[in-house]
Each structure stands twice: as structure tokens, then as C-alpha cells.
Amino acid sequence: MKKHTIVALVQDRPGVLSRVIGLIRRRGFNIESLAVGHSETPGVSRMTIVIEWEDVEQVVKQLYRLIEVLKVSDVTDDPVVEREMTLIKIHAPGPKRPEIVALSEVFDAKIIDVGANTMVIEMTGSPAKVQNFIDVIRPYGIKEMMRTGRIAMVRGVRGHNAEEFVENANGHAERVPVMN
Amino acid sequence: MSDKRTGAQVMCEALIRNGVDVMFGIPGGAIMPFYYAMWEYRDRLRHILCRHEQGAGHAAEGYARASGRLGVCIGTSGPGTTNLVTPIADAMMDSTPLLAITGQVGSHVLGKDAFQETDITGITMPITKHNYLVKKAAELPYVFEEAIFIATTGRPGPVLIDITKDAQQATIVPDWNIKLDLPGYKPNYQPNRKQVREAIKLLLSARKPLIMAGNGVIMAGAVEELRAFAEQTRIPVITTLHGIGAFPEDHPLSIGMPGMHGWVHVNRAIQECDVLFNIGGRFDDRVTGKASTFAPHAKVIHVDIDPSEIGKNVKVTVPIVADARLALQAFLSEFPEREAFAELHGHASDWMEHIREMQSKHQHKQQYLNRSETEHMSLPPHDVYAALTRALNTRGNYRVVTDVGQHQMWAAQLIDWYRPRTHITSGGAGTMGFAVPAALGVAVAHPNDTVWAVCGDGGFQMTNQEMATIIQEGIKNVKVAVINNGYLGMVRQWQELFENKRYSGTPLSGPDFAKLAEAYYWKGITVEDSSQVEAAIEEAYATDGPVLIDFRVEREVNVFPMVPQNKSIGEMILETPHES
């Protein structure tokens, strides 16, 4: 089964995340990653969902049935930039520190905290690059790790923006008619 | 009255403003403020006290399905709401406009396992079209308006509003100046004209076309349009279980029901057809059998208001997302001149002749009733349907509500159906126990019609307590026919045919149903022989009040034709295999 990246714009209301996840859970598929946050339009949140699924067109249609879902796209085969961030707390006794710093530089990762025997590294990049860095740094001893999950954006003018939606008087998103 | 209202009063006024005049429910702690307020509005909001929330939910469904209006049911928090789960799921499957109003514990104890607290919005998320948890009275006017709009528009469905007790009690000045704000909900009603023309081209070039009419035709009120469409094209018409009544069965173009218990000639026609025009049906697996083998030669035109139904089960050549009525009107207005139909009419006439020939070779209604197999039986179930059908046809003004199982399929097959909203059943969810409470709702919607609840002895025993509700409300136009074979008959049939007659968990006893009916102050009649059937039905009609007839039918009769599960609809079993 192919991995798919789905981008969804949803109204920022209680329960909307639960509805989206419930719809995917219903068919017994696992969500590989999920990132949710504000979009460029107030009142509209943006989700990036990564799932392994055969019949993604059906998922997209089902998601549209949810009242609070405004726009859904499967961007898997689109030219997209994808990023993920991770925080890694690594075992870093004195003698190992130069190696870890050097490796971090190679991957454009930042050391953001240094403790007595640990360092916290922040790394941002494509999901593959993040994975690569984790593989390289793992032998030093990862004490804690958190990945944000993938966020995705289609390159160029054609995109998946919320600009057809503007905030109305109630603070909710409202669709602006677009000419086709 | 000043401008100030309690949340509960706002709920009543919101319902009245949205055209609601009857509700089915049961009170309890968390919904008591609503019941307190309801008393003031009782001349405009009729409340029918049911005996179980499941009964209230099915009654509201029956009301909605028979009238085309919104059905409203009420329960208190905790078990009051979980008892509504089955009818809500049923309404979701059958696209029934249902509003469930539930009380919730006070907002200050929400999420703290308070007495009778259940997360009902969480529970019903996947089985509602939408749901709400309201904690502030000020939100009530908007939420009720939006909820009812969502339940009744597009593809209708159940919507639940869960209201905390403090929100019902709080006093506010309601703002009725409501502008719905639903950027993510824009049902598409008008068909794409280009697609319509594409579909017409396909139809005109067809040699073996079929129309399949589903529930959408009835819900959209498109019966007249469907008839005009069929008569203009002369294409044979199939009606699905929920499409029954969308096209009159005595029309020369009507060929009957498809699917697991559909007629042989209908299923064969589907397997042979080259263009299948499905309007308002969702290609349920009980219609398609094994979907990959369904209508193998057909190009499919699928008209549905819900885009997610198109291409879900069957590959579609021309998708049309639209309301069935508006779609058919578009077809009628885009149809070319009469002469352009000449070729299609020629093919359709040959095709219909072929279908009728297939029909004559296999059992259909009349032959089926006269099967020699039933001759030795004192009461074959088919004799009940034959007599009931005669009575319905003679007296008219009937609604038939069926439960789930063998009796349901016999009713769909054997009764003559002519009008929309006369056949009401639980289709998608297959909810046993639907018939008696739903018949209550149907009787409220149509007080001048005779409402027959046809059920099995299994389903009847799940919800028959609503007989008390029917008496308390003074409802006289409900008659119950229990097709009593002492089994969970459809499961027994599967066990007989596919599981070597291992009747595990299917033999079923019951009380004396006629005596039970008498205990509920109904008239109860027991019928054990074919010779008594007609008189019993006559007596039911002659009685000014609800009547139950316990038809003690032959125990092991099967529903045929039958397509085994997950088989092609071309592979039908026509009779019980003889033991060698």
C-alpha cells in the first residue's frame, strides 16, 4: 500500500479533530502522522495527515461529508515541500560532545540545550532527512525524542490555500464565492 | 411574557419556529428543564411518551419516513441517550431526517463521571450527520436552526444536540436573528448539464438499458418525474427495497426488486444490461451481491446527492451529483425530439420482451404463491401476504411498516406497491424491533391511513412495549401482523442452506401474542389455518382500535429467490435443495 499525504482545511471548532480521525479509524487504518495548526486564515485550521491507504479518493470524499471540513486534497503526487521537526535529547558525556556537534552541523541541526550529560538537538528537514539524522545519532543514546509529524505545502501558485475563506463577523470562516 | 427565556423555553420555541409539532421521548433528570418548559407549549408541541428510548427513536424515524418531515426524539443523559444509539444509527444508514435531543449533566461536572453521564456526542460521532454539545443557552437558537437545516437538507440524516442541564436552566434573551454559517456544507442540488447530456447520449445508444430507482427518488419527491422519464424512454424500471413505491408496480415498465431476495428476471436483467441508470440508490451490497461481478456489461450512470456514494461500490461511467427530482427535470428538459428516441424505443421493447420471457420462466408473485410445496401446510406465510395484499388493494389508504428478516422480504416481494412512503422498513441497518414503534410514528403522521406493522416473532419481542404507548395516545389505526414461525427465521434459513441445519440460537418461544395484546388493551387474534386468515384481517379492519394478529405460520419456509452472501446476483438459489 502506498503512503498518502492528505492536506485538509477545517473549521477550528471543538471535536473537529476527533471527527476526522474517527473517519479514518472506522476503516481500521493507522495514521502514520498528523499535524494540526492554524492556517493563514483565522478560524481555519490546517491538517496534514499521512496514512497508508489504497482508496484515498474515497477517504477524501468521506472527509467532505464532515460539516466542518472545508477543503481536502491528496497531495501525494503533487510537487510538494514537506517538512518535519524533531527534538532529540541525546546522551552526551564530555568526550562525545564534539562528535555530536559535528554531526549536527552536517545535518543543519541546532543544539538548543546543554546539560551535565545531555544535549537537546532541534532538527528540521524533509521526513527522510530527519529519519537519516535519527539513524546516525541513535548510537550515542537517545534518551527522549519527539517528532512533530509531517507538514506539507504544494509548490508554486497552485496550492491549497484558505484564501477563499475569510473571517466573518462571528469570527467563523466564511466561503467567498470564486469565479471558475 | 417578557423577552427573557430559559434555555429550555428557547429549545421549544426553536422547534416550533422550525415547523416541529410532535416529539417522541422519555424524560429523566438531565432533560427535566426541557420537559418543564414543554408544558407551556403543549398546544403546539405534542409530546408522545414512549416506553423505551429506542422506541421513541424508531417512532420518530417512522414519522419522518412516512411524512417527509423531520422526526424528533428525546432522551435524558446516560442510558437515555445510549438507548437512542440504535435508531440514530438506523437513521444514518437510511438517510432519515432525525433530530435527537438529549439532556446532559451540568457543565460544571462534565467529564467527571457524574450520575448518568455519558459522552453521547463522542459515541454518536460516526453515526450522526453532525452533532453538538451545547453548554451555553445563548447558543441554542443558532444550534437548533443549524441542526435542523443539516438534518433535512442534502442527503438527510440524524443530528444530535446534547444540552447540559445548566444551559437548559439559564435565562437569556434569545437572539432569533440567525444567519447560518456553514462554509463546509454546501449540498449540490442542480445537476451538471454537460453530464446530463452525456448520460442521455449513453441512454440513446443503449440496447439493454435499465433504470434502478432508490430511496432518493422518494425523498426528493421525484415520483412523477421518474414516471415521465421512464415513459419517455420506455426503459424498464427496477425499484430497490427502499425504492419501493417510487414507481407503481402495476406500470407496464415496472419489473420489480433486485438483489439478495430480488426476482430472478430482475437480477438476470442487471447482469445482461448495457446501461444502468441508478437514481437515488447507493448500490448497497444487498443489491449488488459481490460488487466486482455486478452488472458486468453495464455502463453505469449514477445520480446521487452524496458525492461520496458515487464510485464507492460500483464503477461509474457518468456521475451526476444532484437532487433526484432536479436531475430528472434536467433530463426531461434536455431530452431531444421524439424521433431521436425511435431506435431506443425499438431496443427497449425487444429488451422488455426478453425480460418478461425470463420472468415467465421463473417464479414471480402469482406463481410463487401457488407453489405446490406449500399445499400440505396448514398456514404457509404466503397465504397471509396474499390475503393482506387483497385487503390492502381493496381498502386502499395503507402504510406498511416491516421489521427485519424473512417477513420483511416476503412483504417487499408479495405486497403490491404503488405509492411512495407506503413501504417503510429498516434497510441499511437492518434493525430488528423497528416495526412496532415505527408504526406508531407512521400512524401519528397519517391518522387517516391504516398502518400495518408486519413483523416476525423475534423482532416483535424486542420492542412490543410500545403497544402501551399506542393505547395511551389513543391511536387506533395501527394493526400488527406477527408472522410467527418460532424461529429467528432468516438466520435459521441461512443455517439450513449454508450451515448444515445447525439451528444454533434460532428456535424461539414467545408468550401467547394475542393474550399479550389483550393485556395491553388491544384486540388479539390468533390464526393457525389458512382458512382463518381473511376473516382475521376483516376483523382487524372492523375493530375501532389497535389489533394484533398472531399468524402462526409454517415454521420452516424459506425466502426465495436468494443470492448467497458475497456471490454474484446471477447465482440465485430458487428452492431448498432436496436432500439426497
Q: What is the ipTM of this complex?
A: 0.87
State whether A175 and B186 contact (CB < 8 Å).
yes
pLDDT for A64-120, tens place per residue? 999 999 999 999 988 999 999 999 999 999 999 999 999 999 999 999 999 999 999
Other beta carbons within 10 Å of B290? 16
Closest alpha carbon to B76 in B28, B121, B120, B34? B28
Q: Cell 524533531 sits at which residue?
A: A86
Residues B354 and B369 in one domain: no
Q: Cell 414512549 sits at which residue?
A: B50
Tell me how many domains chain B contains: 3
Does some domain include residue B566?
no
Residues B473 and B401 in one domain: yes
CA distance B298 to chain A (A): 22
Which residues in chain A are contacts of B310 at CB distance < 8 A?
61
CA distance B518 to chain A (A): 45
Would residue B190 show up in a list of annotated catalytic residues for this protein? Answer: no
Nearest to A11 among B121, B122, B183 (CB): B183
Residues B372 and B511 in one domain: yes
State whether A10 and B186 contact (CB < 8 Å).
no
CA distance A151 to chain B (A): 22
Domain end among B361, B390, B419 = B361
Q: Which residues of chain B have pLDDT under 50?
A: 580
CA distance A107 to chain B (A): 41
> pLDDT tier at A178 (50, 70, 90 boundaries)?
very low
* pLDDT for B494: 96
* pLDDT for B369: 55
B130 in reach of chain A (CB within 8 A): yes
- Per-residue CA distances from B46 to A28, B15, B69, B147, B210 (Å): 43, 11, 15, 20, 45
Q: CB neighbours of B359 closer than 8 A, spacing ≥ 6?
A: B255, B263, B264, B265
State whether A58 and B186 contact (CB < 8 Å).
no
Q: Which of B92, B107, B125, B135 is the best mutation test for A, with the most CBs of A within 10 A?
A: B125
Would residue B490 show up in a list of annotated catalytic residues for this protein? Answer: yes
Would residue B53 show up in a list of annotated catalytic residues for this protein? Answer: yes
Q: Which chain A residue lies closest to B124 (C-alpha atoms)?
A: A19
Residue B394 domain boundaries: 365-552
Does some domain include residue B389?
yes
B111 in reach of chain A (CB within 8 A): no
State whether A18 and B129 contact (CB < 8 Å).
no
Which residues in chain B are contacts of A11 at CB distance < 8 A?
183-184
State whether A68 and B129 contact (CB < 8 Å).
no
Pair type for strands B46-49 and B22-25: parallel
Residues B15 and B127 in one domain: yes
B121 in reach of chain A (CB within 8 A): yes
Closest alpha carbon to B286 in B157, B426, B421? B426
CATH number at residue B103: 3.40.50.970
Kindly list the domain boundaries of chain A, sorted by start residue.
Answer: 3-79+155-175, 81-151
Which residues on adjacent β-strands are paired with residue A122? A87, A110
The overall average pLDDT reported for chain A is 88
Residue type, B492: R
CATH number at residue B345: 3.40.50.1220
B residues 310..329 contacting A (CB < 8 A): 310-312
* pLDDT for B430: 97
Domain end among B309, B326, B361 = B361
pLDDT for B224-255, tens place per residue? 999 999 999 999 999 999 999 999 999 999 99
A residues 144..163 contacting B (CB < 8 A): none
* pLDDT for A174: 57
Closest alpha carbon to B47 in B15, B81, B69, B4? B15
Residues B31 and B142 in one domain: yes
B182 in reach of chain A (CB within 8 A): yes
User: What's the CA gap between B281 and B277, in Å, rounded?
Assistant: 10
User: What's the CA gap between A84 and A90, in Å, rounded?
Assistant: 19
Does some domain include residue B268?
yes
Residues B287 and B355 in one domain: yes
Look at residue B217 and give its three-state secondary structure: helix
Residues B356 and B369 in one domain: no
Residues B533 and B392 in one domain: yes
Domain end among B346, B361, B376 = B361
Residue type, B58: H
Residues B387 and B315 in one domain: no
Instruction: State the virtual CA torsion across B217, B219, B225, B229 in degrees, nearest 10.
Output: -10
Residues B408 and B541 in one domain: yes
Does some domain include residue B178?
no
Considering the candidates B53, B61, B272, B466, report the single residue annotated as catalytic.
B53
Please tell me the CATH code under which domain A81-151 is placed: 3.30.70.1150
Residues B531 and B465 in one domain: yes
CA distance A46 to chain B (A): 14
State whether A69 and B184 contact (CB < 8 Å).
yes
* pLDDT for B367: 55
| A171: pLDDT strictly greater than 60 | no
Nearest to B308 among A14, A26, A61 (CB): A61
Closest alpha carbon to B381 in B244, B530, B562, B495? B530
Q: Which of A65, A165, A174 is the best mutation test for B, with the most CBs of B within 10 A?
A: A65
Q: Does domain A3-79+155-175 have CATH number 3.40.50.1220?
A: no
> pLDDT tier at A179 (50, 70, 90 boundaries)?
very low
A residues 39..58 contacting B (CB < 8 A): 57-58
B186 in reach of chain A (CB within 8 A): yes
